[in-house]
Amino acid sequence: MNRALEFNTSTVVYDKPGTYGPESGIMTVENNVEIRAADVVLRNMVIKGDLLIAKEVGNGNVTLQNITVEGKTLVNGGGENSIYIENCSLAQVIVNKEDGKIRIVVKGDTKVDTVNVQSGAKIEGQNASKGIGKVVIEGSIPADAEIVLAGNFGEVEVKVSKASIKVEEGMVNRINIAQGSDEAKIELGEKAEVKVVEVNSKATVSGKGYIETAIVKANGVIIEQKPFNLEVAENVTANIGGEEIKGSNPTENTSSSSGYVVPAEPIKTVLFDDGYPAIVQINSDSVYVLFKNPRINGRVYGVAKLITEAQPTTEEIIKQSSGYNILTKGQNELMILDNLQPNTEYKFYFVVTDEQGNLVSDVISLVAKTKNNLFGNGSPYVIMNGSNYIEVLFDEPKFDGRIYGVSKLANESSPTISDILNERKGYNIIQTGRGSRVTLSDLQPNTEYKLYFVATDTQGNPISDIITLTAKTAPIGFESNLSSTTVGLYSNFYIKAFNSTNDTYNNVKITFNIYSNNDSPFGKDDISLQYYNNDTWVDVPVYESVYGGVYGSFGPTQGFTVNSGYNATTNFRVKVNKSNTYFVYVYFTSYDDNTPYGQIIGSYYIPVYVEPIQFNVSGIDNFIEGAENTFSVISQINLAQNR
């Protein structure tokens, strides 16, 4: 606070970075205040005069906390991530940045009566409880200037021709495009909603945002959306929702209370977002239908019919529906249609009414085929996104048979059932009631895949359609030369881990699990694992798991950082005392404040065959009783892996 420079009796200037104002309580400044440096925080003040954020701030940051400005707040400096206004009360804010690259964020309990935008700018309300009363777009704004609004606003008034304004999201009570604002463009983002748009000049409104009421008073207006309510002035022609609409003579049509005329041929009412209602989940006995962003308060009724049955009337849909879902404006609604038969094609019919039961829609229909009731608990689903593999669980199967699977890159064409059965990249035997896992391996890290599966009976005859899942492999990649070894002998191998992404992972720890095929008994005394460090082989502790197999950890116990470009190779040797096939899993797990239970950033799957020692005996066939005889025993081991 003491670093403020008072260079005359009318202005207090802050020209160095810092925090100004008391920690508690309120300080009153009777004069004007200027901020001429970046990284200034102004707090707990009442400014009786004007506040200027000067162009000397450049593209730097300025934060206002609990500030009341009784005069004007002029914003001439600041960058695209810069001006933060939190818990403040500002009468009028005038924004005029020379290059138009400035962002103003209104937060907390802030109240701003009016914002006058005279250059490009982004005005953003982040959970502001009182928010901005009015935004006025005015002055000599360049045609290529970008004005973006996000949040809740009372009114937006456009008073500039050729202005380009985007409302990204939030609620605006009223947008008024004033006379003399020809060729102004308003774009409404998908999450934006406007209660009233009044257009008094030849202008364009576009985007996917919702308009409750549009009032058109000028010729040549284009509104790409279909407003819920529309008023077009007499003798005015506009393009609304792709249709040419002409305002009629009030004596020939029913006039609205404002004196404007509802078109004789009303446009089709938009009740939900484009593409909705939509089926978002299909089960063996039910489907889930989403009604996204309803435009009205009301009810929706729905029934399911076999694809061969006749379409019901609106009255039949209402009577035959087991009930209705209540629609609340702006809140997504999910309807469940159940008691369906598995593996059956249905047509679903819906009608919408207002709160009084008046019909406001035609019959809406959707088609879907229920799933074959082969598995339970919503399976199959992905249970592990490894680096070179993806593991899928098929839970509570209701048949005996097999499951086959293949993986394809996301941009590759889908396989046929025959392709899946012939390629069989993943395979498992299915027993009724016993969950089974299918592992699809030989994949690349950090890559999107589509997974395709087919169920068959015990003779290999398909009993399901193609089951499709999508999954992305973990970002950290691995490489190893371990594939087989010989029982009772040490086998040398290496594991290389690398990070080809641009991401950095902190507090990473390495663990591993080893399982035996067919759940054969396998404990810590059956394996010796060592790593090579400073010309010495060092034991890696191994522990027995209650789930079978063994596990352990390796590397710094406090964790380490995996930066972009990370590439590390460690040499190991292993000795296993039982011949079998073993499944080795190596995990890289990152722990931080956001993921206290860990995020697996890499998991490597290696199937390893431990071969028995083979013996060849020769010269033992022709022994003579009582005589000295010779024979030879030759052992055969995997020389490539064992040293």
pLDDT in tens, 481-516: 998 888 888 999 999 999 999 999 999 999 999 999
What is the phi/psi pair of residue 174, to 5°? Answer: -155, 135
Supply the pLDDT for residue 212.
83
Q: How far apart are CA 347 and CA 303, in angstroms?
A: 9
Nearest Cα to Cα of residue 454 among 422, 417, 429: 417
- Considering the chain, what percentage of its residues have pLDDT values greater than 70? 90
How many Å from the N-terminal Cα to the C-terminal Cα in the chain?
74
Structure tokens at 342: 């598995």
Query: For residue 372, what pLDDT is reported?
Result: 75
The DSSP symbol for 56 reads G
> So what's the pLDDT on residue 269?
59
Distance CA 550, CA 522 (A): 8
Q: What is the pLDDT of residue 547?
A: 82
- Determine the pLDDT at residue 25: 93
The reply to whether domains 381-472 and 476-611 share a CATH topology is: yes
- The DSSP-derived string for 558-621 is T-EEE-TT-EEEEEEEEEESS-EEEEEEEEEEE--SS-TT-EEEEEEEEEEEEEPPEEEEES-T
pLDDT at 232 over 60: yes
Phi first, then psi, for residue 274 (nearest 5°) are -55, 135
Across 326-334, average pLDDT: 92
Tell me how many helices (H) and strands (E) the chain has. 2, 51
Helix (H/G/I), strand (E/B), else coil: 551: strand
Residue 328 CB coordination number (10 Å): 12
Q: Tell me the CATH class for 476-611.
A: mainly beta
- Distance in angstroms (rounded) separating the CA atoms of residues 187 and 551: 57
Write down how long the chain is. Answer: 643
Flag whether pLDDT at 641 surpasses 50: no
The pLDDT assigned to 257 comes to 37
pLDDT for 95: 95
Whole-number pLDDT of residue 6:
40
Instruction: Tokens for 98, please give them.
Output: 């020379």
When mean pLDDT is compared across 40-44, 193-197, 535-539, the lowest value belongs to 193-197
Distance CA 278, CA 404 (A): 30
pLDDT at res. 265: 43
CATH of 381-472, one of 3.20.20.140, 3.40.50.300, 2.60.40.10, 3.30.70.330: 2.60.40.10
* pLDDT-based confidence at residue 270 (cuts at 50, 70, 90): confident
Question: For residue 542, what pLDDT is reported?
Answer: 95
- Strands 364-369 and 210-216 turn out to be unpaired
Q: Which pLDDT value is given to residue 635? A: 55
- Cβ-Cβ contacts under 8 Å for 624 (sequence gap 6 or more): none
Q: With contact defined as beta carbons under 8 Å apart, do 92 and 113 qualify?
A: yes
What is d(CA 405, CA 427) in angstroms, rounded to the nearest whole number? 6
Residues 6+ apart with CB under 8 A from 127: 107, 108
| pLDDT tens digit sequence for 477-486 | 999 999 888 8
Alpha carbon 300 to its chain centroid, in Å, reads 29
What average pLDDT does this structure show over 542-567? 91
pLDDT at 470: 94
- Rounded to an integer, what distance in angstroms lies between the CA atom of residue 636 and that of residue 633? 10
Please state, in angstroms and rounded to a whole number, the distance separating the CA atoms of residues 137 and 132.
14
The pLDDT of residue 616 is 62
Q: Rounded to whole angstroms, what are the CA distances from 421 to 161, 193, 452?
A: 65, 51, 10
For residues 202 and 214, give the distance between their C-alpha atoms in angstroms, rounded to a whole number. 14
Element (H, E) at 407: strand 401-409
The token pair at 585 is 């899993």
The per-residue pLDDT for range 423-452, each reduced to its tens digit, is 888 889 999 999 999 999 999 999 999 999
What is the mean predicted confidence (pLDDT) over 298-320? 93
Q: How far apart are CA 503 and CA 414, in angstroms?
A: 31
Confidence of residue 619 (pLDDT cuts 50, 70, 90): low
pLDDT mean over 570-582: 93
DSSP string, 437-470: EEEEESPPTT-EEEEEEEEE-TTS-B-S--EEEE
d(CA 527, CA 578): 9
Return mean pLDDT, the chain: 87
Q: How many CA atoms lie within 13 A of 392 on its CB side?
A: 32
Matching CATH number, 278-363, of 2.60.40.10, 2.102.10.10, 3.40.50.300, 2.60.40.1930? 2.60.40.10
* 67-103 residue pLDDT tens: 999 999 999 999 888 899 999 999 999 999 989 999 9
Band of pLDDT at residue 556, cut at 50, 70 and 90: confident
Q: Which of 96, 91, 137 is nearest to 113 (CA)?
A: 91
Give me the mean pLDDT over the 326-335 stretch. Answer: 92
Q: Are 73 and 95 in contact (CB under 8 A)?
A: no
Average pLDDT over residues 161-182: 92
- Measured from the Cβ of residue 95, the count of other Cβ atoms closer than 10 Å reads 26
- Mean of the pLDDT values across residues 103-129? 88
Which residue from 371, 370, 392, 397 is spatially nearest to 382, judged by alpha carbons? 392
Q: Is the pLDDT of residue 224 over 70?
A: yes
Domain residue ranges of the chain, discontinuous segments joined by +: 11-222, 278-363, 381-472, 476-611
Backbone φ and ψ for 204, nearest 5 degrees, come out as -125, 135
What whole-number distance in Å separates Cα of residue 531 and Cα of residue 77?
A: 59
Cβ neighbours of residue 202 under 8 Å, at least 6 residues apart?
A: 182, 183, 218, 219, 220, 221
